[in-house]
Structure 1
Amino acid sequence: MDNIDKEMIFLYLFFVGATLALINSHFLKDSITIILQYAFAIFVQYSVLRVFFKYNYHSDYKLKVETLLKMYTVSFFIACLVGIAIYLGLFPHSDMYYSGNGRLNSIRGNANSLAKYIVISLPLILAYFDYKKNNVLLCVVLFTAVVNLILTASFGGLLYTGLVIIYYYLLKIIYTPSKSTGKQLLVFLCFALICVSYIYVNPPEVVAERILSINDVSQAGSYNLKVALMKESLEMNSISSLLVGIGPGSYPYVSIYGTNVHNLYLLIMSEFGFLSLLGFLLFLFSVYIKSLKNLKIVDKNFKIVIIGLNSSLLAFCMTLTTNTHTYTRSLWFFVVALWVINKSINEKSLGKRM
């Protein structure tokens, strides 16, 4: 049983449910496209990363993992620098990279997408610089990321960032206890305090209007609409629709609000059916649990990598509570990378203590 790829079985369950739901599809072509987008985001990255680690023995795993982390960190840093250049007006046609209400979209095309990209990426970025033991560069990259996050004026993005960073350092304290971890957490808290203070003293206009002006959480962003859509989703699910689903991409056509419910778990349950939701949840849960188990058998340096990816996976799951269909490759990268690394650890003693 240990050699069976349970995660692959759970994904098959997800896609079988989605395929069965095609019988209720409002627009078959669009529904098939959604399913293929998920398949592409997951299986193509899985295949590439499996090849990347396939012949990865103990002698060179550090180089391959470090290369993977470096590539992602550099691309993330460039994306954040582009956002700052847009904010400073240095980017051609900078006004095109803002939404109508003044929120920064940057090159992600949507402010919420940019916020979620930052939230999910940050734990892995922290892990990379912990791995390299370079706090100076970490502060530089962290600063550019926080500036971009603030300019998105995403209430959920700011909240999730705080929670996932705390979770990351808790895992470090548990699995890699050292005096430096406490110092790093203190530095991060001081940095966060400076950022929060700046936001309150001299906030960007969009932040002042969208976040600081609210009296309670119900006034944050599109909170009321999201809650209404979630209630509608729960109420519309009959026994028959739960078993099969109303069809991928069909939710806007049956909703009185004319848009998707902003909660991927509820959206999958409504459109793909309970079978797909079960496979989806089991897949994420299995990858998460296996990574925690692997923290007990890998060496100290590799623990940092697993902690970063595990934290990014948790961030991914958190952001799905306010997201619609999510098949962006850069967001699924963390989930697939952790899945592949888990398999490599179990198959070839990747990163294990000798």
Structure 2
Amino acid sequence: MTIQSPPFLSPAPRAVRFRQRPAPVLSKLDSKLAALTVFLSPMNFFRLDVVYLTLADAAACATLLVMLLKGNVPRAPLGMVTPIWLTGVLLLAAGLTIGSVVNGNLLSLVVILLQYFFSLIALVYVLAGREYRETVALLKVLVFSIAVVMAFGAYVVHYVPDPDLRLVSASGRLRSLVERENATAALGSIAIVLLLNLTLDGKFRRITAALIIPVLLYGVILTGSNTGLILTVFGATVTALFSNSARVTIGFILAGVTAVIVAKFAGDIILPEIFQERVLTALTTRDLSQAGTFEDRYLLILEALEIARDTLGVGLGADQYRTISAYGAPVHNSYLLLLTEGSLISLLGLVLLLLSGVTLAWAAIVEADARTEGLIALIVCLIYAVMLSSFTHFYARFWNVPLVLALALAAASHKTKSRNR
């Protein structure tokens, strides 16, 4: 015999459903804000003038607030290499701090350290440490965002008279919402690598990839960046060679040969003028002076090497290179800039950051048998390492979000594999 409870003692279904609603809503809000952070990250144009604070930063702070309210901030967002990554950031900061305390400007130190901690620590805890499927979704958002940036920039170049110099350089090179030519090209190359690998792994529809790749390629071409073009070719080549598919490899070779033939015989007709001036001319004449400001950067590098002799133990301090440079500008090489401003300590910190990425990529490939995820992390890490040779301080969000997401994907695949053992 079953004894039923009186109606007034039975739980109210509506009340139960009401109490259970906030958790799913908060969870969705967390994911949506993280996606918004990623989507806005390449759009450096939307920022404050007084202090470097972007619209993506506001979205990241909102995401972090929701995560704190939920209590789900990850302890080790980058998995096994999280201690190495954090040690690298601390060493980078320690070198700059020692140099600034001894002979630098403490106000500049505070500003730069806050930027680095937000970019290299806060963003890592906001975006990494998520489940595999959500990390893949964030990478898709990043690809779409960079495609939007490229499409918008192309429109401005071709259809807007006297465009804002923040969007298009005086020489006609595409900057778009990133506001930097080489950085825009590097983001384009990273997006192409992500798109190709995710498509080959079945995460992107082929028709979608076929529509997006031309937009990304044309954007890279409009930047007139030789480095960007080289990195794009490098990333696509490595992807094809490690695709484990003869059809993909042959298709890439045919596409490359076709591109060379078209550039050779019809480049002056179909390729943008800026690409012809800066890239095509340099390739055909083998004259690097046609390819950009190599000579100016070379002089800054020589000066930095000379200064570095006296800064191996104690650096100049954060943002102090420009104050003693004969050219009144920081050297456009992150490795040398950290060596001169933060000594060997800061340089070691940067090396640890890169090593943590390579280690995580290797672990994903070897231990987790996640070839695609590990390859993405490795290629993005290598692109990052190359581009650091042409940047100053590298705390810009548009630059670090792709690296964080690539490493987060490798960490998520490694975590999934370990859980299933």
Alignment partners' CA distance in 2, 1:4 and 1:138: 33
Tell me whether 319-328 or 111-120 shows the greater mean CA deviation: 111-120
> Which residue does 2:195 correspond to in 1?
125
Which protein shows a greater Rg? 2
Secondary structure at the residue paired with 1:243? coil
Q: Say whether the 8 Å CA contact 1:21–1:245 is kept in structure 2.
A: yes
Secondary structure at the residue paired with 1:314? helix
Residue 275 of structure 2 aligns to which amino acid in structure 1? V
Alignment partners' CA distance in 2, 1:25 and 1:142: 49
1:35–1:25 Cα change, 3 Å: farther
Q: Post-superposition shift, 1:66? A: 2.9
> Which residue does 2:27 correspond to in 1?
none
Alignment partners' CA distance in 1, 2:182 and 2:413: 34
Tell me whether 261-270 or 28-37 shows the greater mean CA deviation: 28-37
> Which residue does 2:7 correspond to in 1?
none
Q: Deviations over 1:91-117 (max 9, x none)?
A: 697455311112111111122221222
Q: 1:227 aligns with which of 285, 288, 298?
A: 298
Alignment partners' CA distance in 1, 2:222 and 2:216: 10
> Which residue does 1:159 correspond to in 2?
230
- Provide the TM-score with structure 2 as the length reference: 0.72
> Which residue does 2:248 correspond to in 1?
181
Q: Deviations over 1:162-193 (max 9, x none)?
A: 223223333x24xxx23343244235425643
> Which residue does 1:261 correspond to in 2?
331
> Which residue does 1:217 correspond to in 2?
288
Q: Say whether the 8 Å CA contact 2:364–2:411 is kept in structure 1.
A: no
Secondary structure at the residue paired with 2:169? coil
Alignment partners' CA distance in 2, 1:306 and 1:207: 33
1:120–1:38 Cα change, 3 Å: farther
Q: Say whether the 8 Å CA contact 2:175–2:181 is kept in structure 1.
A: yes
Q: Post-superposition shift, 1:283? A: 2.0
Match runs of 1:16-27 below 5 Å:
16-24=94-102, 26-27=104-105
Q: Say whether the 8 Å CA contact 1:120–1:313 is kept in structure 2.
A: no
1:135–1:351 Cα change, 3 Å: farther
List gaps (5 residues or longer) in structure 2.
1-79
Alignment partners' CA distance in 2, 1:30 and 1:116: 28
Q: Post-superposition shift, 1:340? A: 3.6
Q: Is the aligned partner of 1:33 residue 2:130?
A: no
> Which residue does 1:243 correspond to in 2?
313
Alignment partners' CA distance in 1, 2:213 and 2:411: 31
Tell me whether 29-38 or 17-26 shows the greater mean CA deviation: 17-26
Alignment partners' CA distance in 2, 1:38 and 1:188: 40
Q: Post-superposition shift, 1:222? A: 0.3
1:70–1:343 Cα change, 3 Å: closer
1:272–1:188 Cα change, 3 Å: farther
1:71–1:263 Cα change, 3 Å: same
Q: Is the aligned partner of 1:77 residue 2:144?
A: no
Q: Post-superposition shift, 1:207? A: 2.7
Alignment partners' CA distance in 1, 2:396 and 2:368: 30
Alignment partners' CA distance in 2, 1:205 and 1:304: 36
Q: 2:267 aligns with which of 186, 189, 199?
A: 199
> Which residue does 2:377 correspond to in 1?
309
Q: 1:112 aligns with which of 176, 182, 186?
A: 182
Q: Post-superposition shift, 1:280? A: 0.9
Q: Deviations over 1:76-130 (max 9, x none)?
A: 22112112222331x6974553111121111111222212222333211222222
> Which residue does 1:349 correspond to in 2?
416
The number of residues matched between the two structures is 336
Alignment partners' CA distance in 1, 2:178 and 2:112: 19
Q: Say whether the 8 Å CA contact 2:377–2:407 is kept in structure 1.
A: no
1:344–1:159 Cα change, 3 Å: closer
Secondary structure at the residue paired with 2:332? coil
Residue 112 of structure 2 aligns to which amino acid in structure 1? I
Q: Say whether the 8 Å CA contact 1:309–1:335 is kept in structure 2.
A: yes
Alignment partners' CA distance in 1, 2:420 and 2:261: 40
List gaps (5 residues or longer) in structure 1.
none
Alignment partners' CA distance in 2, 1:298 and 1:313: 19
> Which residue does 1:325 correspond to in 2?
393
Q: 2:168 aligns with which of 98, 109, 124?
A: 98
Alignment partners' CA distance in 1, 2:315 and 2:190: 29
